[in-house]
Amino acid sequence: MVKLTSAEIKAIKALGSKKFRDSEGLFVVEGEKLVSEALASGFKIERILKRDEIGEQQMARISALDSPSPVLAVIRKAEPKPAVAAKGLYLALDSVRDPGNLGTIMRIADWFGIDGIFASQDTVDQYNPKVVQASMGAVFRKTVLYCDIPQLCESFHAAGLPVYGTFLDGSDIYAADFKPEGLIVMGSESFGISAAVGEHVDARIKIPTYAEGPGAESLNVAVATAVTVAEFKRRTR
């Protein structure tokens, strides 16, 4: 049985905090599927710990899950890249705070072949344990680039590429005319797209409701992202 020191346990547990993930350049993944995805990726694996080797009690001490998984890996974060406009279809997330939503959006981007994901600095960290779990492995294929979203929009304009935004008062996405390339901005769970970002949007689009009478006020941002991206891809394939 492998015995972890108190310092080792403390260091792994500390990676649940963004402060320590940033300072150490590391993050944690748990579960056989995610560790398998990590091994198949280009990410550097610093350490793999198995429940059978360290025991149930030690795994419970280092795990962020309610039910500790059979395996946990400590992984080196990807090197950050500059946020620049390029041809293709991209997502920009304006203050998306919920880890489950970001992880799901990364998974959606992976499924639909989105060329990249940008996010405001106050969007939840892509290496947050809950984001990693919700991404179902997409964290190894879809890096989120954190940047100033208004400046990013202007860089897309400078490159001759449109910026789309989802708004409750926008034009029906199923009737709107749009190009196959550009930037799609998705807003926060509570407030939507901020006024500062909205000023840089060329076309405001919405997903229409088909409910008769009172209904839901809006869609979850991850669900809205899936519907929006699916329509762009359906029209442009």
Write out pLDDT tens, residues 140-155. 999 999 999 999 999 9
Q: Given pLDDT bands bounded at 50, 70 and 90, which one contains residue 110?
A: very high
The model's confidence at residue 31, banded by pLDDT at 50, 70 and 90, is: very high
CATH superfamily of the 6-76 domain: Ribosomal protein L30/S12 (3.30.1330.30)
Tell me the per-residue pLDDT of 3-18, one tens digit each, with 9 for 90 and over. 999 999 999 999 999 9
Statement: 89-236 belongs to CATH 3.30.70.20: no
- One-character DSSP codes across the chain: -PPPPHHHHHHHHHTTSHHHHHHHTEEEEESHHHHHHHHHSSSPEEEEEEHHHH-HHHHHHH--SSS--SEEEEEEPPPP------SSEEEEESS---HHHHHHHHHHHHHHT-SEEEE-TTSPPTTSHHHHHHHTTGGGT-PEEE--HHHHHHHHHHTT--EEEEEEEEEETTT----SSEEEEE-BTTTBS-HHHHTT-SEEEE-----SSS--S---HHHHHHHHHHHHHHHH-
Q: Where are the domains of the chain?
A: 6-76, 89-236
Each residue's pLDDT tens digit, 180-233: 899 999 999 889 999 999 999 999 999 999 887 766 778 999 999 999 999 999
